[in-house]
Amino acid sequence: MREVHLPRSLEELWPLLDRRPRAALYAGGTDLLVRMGRGMENPAALVCLERIEELKGVNEHGDHIHIGSCTTHSRLLAHPLVQRHLPVLAQAVKTLGSPLIRNMGTIGGNLCTASPAGDTLPPLYVLEAEVELRSGGRVRRMPVREFIRGPGVTCIEEGEILTGIRVKKPARDLLHHFEKVGRRNALACAVVSLAALIGFSPDGVVRRAALAWGSVGPTVVRCPEAEEALLGQRLSADTLQRAAALVREAVSPISDLRADEHYRRRVSGNLLLRLAERPRPGSSGIPPGCCSSK
Amino acid sequence: MEIRFVLNGRNTLVETSPDRKVTDLLREDLGLTGVKEGCGAGECGACTILVDGESRLSCLMLAAQIEGRHVTTIEGLAQGEDLHPVQEAFVEHGAVQCGFCTPGMVLSAVHLIENLSGPTREEIREGLSGNLCRCTGYTMIVDAVEAAAAKMRGEGSS
């Protein structure tokens, strides 16, 4: 039998982590309890964070949005601030797991699991999100791209937890785009995914581009060369093909059960081509980043 | 440890280990065998229960987590002899074959209709996408949920 603790506040949590420094922490349990069930982990004690209300919810602070780490994917998806300001994140969360997984799993858990296929990661990279880490004594903030060190590895330290995610509200006229290729629609682990945030000049030329791929490297892959190839251009098929060729060079996918390396490399580039079909923000009255994913 | 919770509308007190899987607690200790365990990894939905009205996977919850919560299993859905409209629709539309997925499927459908009173067929497919059925091909399940939602809105007859 193993201890299971359910602290109700951070005040209750800190002394508990002092007493049980080796305890495994979880919120939704959709990763940890699966690994325990398969005998891959066997912690002596568990701390479940799901009852700590101060770790839940989405709030606006001036020009930033703060997302509590224990906010479930379902709550995130339903939240007006996420729908209005962070459509690229909403599009990704919509494809994550299944409704049941989304009712349990949290954005903080998705980050701490640090899977190369984590669906919320590419959007958080293009949004240049920051994580907030707390322990009993201190608070640290760092960009998500620094927080994630490798597959399943983050820079979280003993006695520390991820308390929240901070995102600067993106300009309202950006194109938000997320697409995931999996083996099936529901409950699909990404074979390749792409998150894109694109800004246009009034004449339809790209003035800024942020692109991030999931599942094609040990962590999320950015490709500054491809972003640069889009700058000053219209998103024509030719421009996107040129950027796609650069992406296929930049990614470092592996072959696994879901797909082989060559397929992943090819699809990483191909996913960019879809950007030509996306309605431009502000055109035809479609709101920026209006969700068209399945 | 002692765990107090409301199970299918009744105050319940059980003595169990805090890390007991909720599926096992419900099936083996409390005899509610409508809760099934399929994959044990959150991929099949056979173990679906409602916790405070929200659909969850009981195979990925530990006993300590249900302290103070309202838990509904398939056994708690009917009012005496009167089936829940979703259960009734499953019977009428032949949405059951082997039956293993049915309890979880029905509970996910109940949660879906409570959040979306007039779901489209696409929304029903999406809402049930975490519950796998290997027999029916889903068409009759979608028919049943569509009919149940209409009935619960007070439309049509069936």
Provide the residue-wise pLDDT of chain A in tens; the chain has 294 residues: 899 999 999 999 999 999 999 999 999 999 999 999 999 999 999 999 999 999 999 999 999 999 999 999 999 999 999 999 999 999 999 999 999 999 999 999 999 999 999 999 999 999 999 999 999 989 999 999 999 999 999 999 999 999 999 999 999 999 999 999 999 888 889 999 999 999 999 999 999 999 999 999 999 999 999 999 999 999 999 999 999 999 999 999 989 889 999 999 999 999 999 999 888 887 654 444 444 443
Task: Mark whether A156 and A127 lie in a shared domain.
Answer: yes
DSSP state of B40: S
Considering the domain architecture, whether residues A116 and A208 belong to the same structural domain is answered as: no
B36 and B18 together in one domain: yes
Structure ipTM: 0.96
Q: What CATH number did the domain enclosing B112 receive?
A: 1.10.150.120
CB contact under 8 A, A4 and B54: no
Residue B43 to chain A, least CA–CA distance (Å): 7
Distance from CA of B105 to the nearest CA of A (A): 11
Same domain as A208, residue A162: no
- B86 contacts B106 by C-beta, under 8 angstroms: yes
Residue B158 belongs to a domain: no
A135 lies in the same domain as A220: no
Type of residue at A216: V
Across the interface, whether the CB atoms of B41 and A186 are under 8 A apart is answered no
Q: B135 and B96: one domain?
A: yes
CA distance A286 to B73: 42
pLDDT tens digits for range B19-55:
999 999 999 999 999 999 999 999 999 999 999 999 9
Tell if the CB–CB gap between A4 and B62 is shorter than 8 Å.
yes
Residues B59 and B114 in one domain: no
Angstrom distance (rounded) from CA A198 to CA A288: 11
Among A153, A168, A183, the domain boundary falls at A168
Is the CA virtual torsion A259, A262, A265, A266 positive or negative?
negative
* CA–CA separation, A62 and B146 (whole Å): 43
Number of A–B residue contacts, CB under 8 Å: 86
A139 by Cβ neighbours in 10 Å (0-12 / 13-18 / 19+) ranks as exposed
Q: Which stretches of chain B drop beneath a pLDDT of 50? A: 158
Are B48 and A100 in contact (CB < 8 Å)?
yes
Same domain, B67 and B17: yes
- Domain end among B76, B109, B129: B76
In terms of domains, do A150 and A183 share one? Answer: no
Closest residue by Cα to residue B23 from B77, B65, B53: B65
Q: Say what the pTM is.
A: 0.95
pLDDT at A278: 87
Q: Which of A284, A293, A275 is nearest to A239 (CA)?
A: A275
Residues A83 and A162 grouped into a single domain: yes
Of B21, B51, B76, the last residue of a domain is: B76
Paired with A167 in beta bridges are A65
Residue B157 domain-assigned (yes or no): no
Give dist(CA A270, CA A241) in Å, integer. 8
Could you list the residue range(s) of the whole structural domain that residue A92 is in?
56-168
Strands (E), chain B: 2-7, 10-15, 48-51, 54-57, 70-72
* Structural domain for B65, as ranges: 2-76
- Look up residue B123 and give its two tokens: 């929304």
Which chain A residues contact residue B48 at CB under 8 A?
100
- Residue count (chain B): 158
Q: Identify whether residues B43 and B26 lie together within a single domain.
A: yes
B156 to chain A, closest Cα gap in Å: 28
Q: In this structure, are strands A161-168 and A153-154 parallel, antiparallel, or unpaired?
A: unpaired
Kindly determine whether residue B43 and residue A187, on different chains, have CB atoms separated by under 8 Å.
yes
End-of-domain residue from the set A168, A188, A221: A168
Domain end: B48, B76, B104, which one? Answer: B76
How many domains in chain A? Answer: 2
Same domain, residue pair B72 and B6: yes
- The answer to the question of residue B17 being in a domain is yes
Cα A35 to chain centroid distance, Å, stands at 21
Rounded Cα–Cα distance for residues A20 and A57 (Å):
27
* CA distances for A212 relative to A118, A200, A262, A286, B33, angstroms: 12, 18, 19, 24, 46
Contact A66, A166 (CB under 8 A): yes
Domain count, chain B: 2
CATH number at residue A234: 3.30.390.50
The pLDDT score that the predictor gives to residue A287 is 47
- Domain harbouring B66, CATH code: 3.10.20.30
Residues whose CB is less than 8 angstroms from the CB of residue A219 and which lie 6 or more positions away in sequence, other chains included: A114, A116, A121, A145, A148, A149, A150, A151
Q: Are residues A150 and A194 in the same domain?
A: no
b/e sequence A193-232, b meaning 16+ C-beta within 10 Å: bbbbbbebeeeeebeebbbbbbbbbebbbbbeebbebbee
Q: Which residues in B lie closer than 8 A to residue A6 (C-beta atoms)?
A: 64-65, 67
Do B56 and B92 reside in the same domain of the chain?
no
Measure CB to CB from residue B55 to each of A33, A97, A99 and give the nearest one: A99
Same domain, B28 and B68: yes
Q: Is there a domain that residue B136 lies in?
A: yes
Query: What is the model's pLDDT at position B70?
Result: 98
Q: What pLDDT is stored for residue B156 in this prediction?
A: 63
Residue A80 sits in a domain whose CATH number is: 3.30.465.10
In terms of domains, do B40 and B89 share one? no
* CB within 8 Å: B65 and A30: no
Answer yes or no: do B55 and A28 touch at CB < 8 A: no
Query: Residues B152, B85: contact at Cβ < 8 Å?
Result: yes
Same domain? For B72 and B29 the reply is: yes
Q: Which two tokens stand for residue A170?
A: 């993106």
User: Which residues, in sequence order, are CB contacts of A69 under 8 Å at separation 6+?
Assistant: A27, A49, A55, A106, A107, A108, A109, A111, A161, A162, A163, A164, A165
The Cβ of residue B8 has, within 10 Å, a number of other Cβ atoms equal to 17
In A, which residues are within 8 Å of B54 by CB distance?
74, 103
Of the three residues A146, A168, A190, the one that is the final residue of a domain is A168
Same domain, residue pair A161 and A224: no
Does residue A34 sit within a domain?
A: no
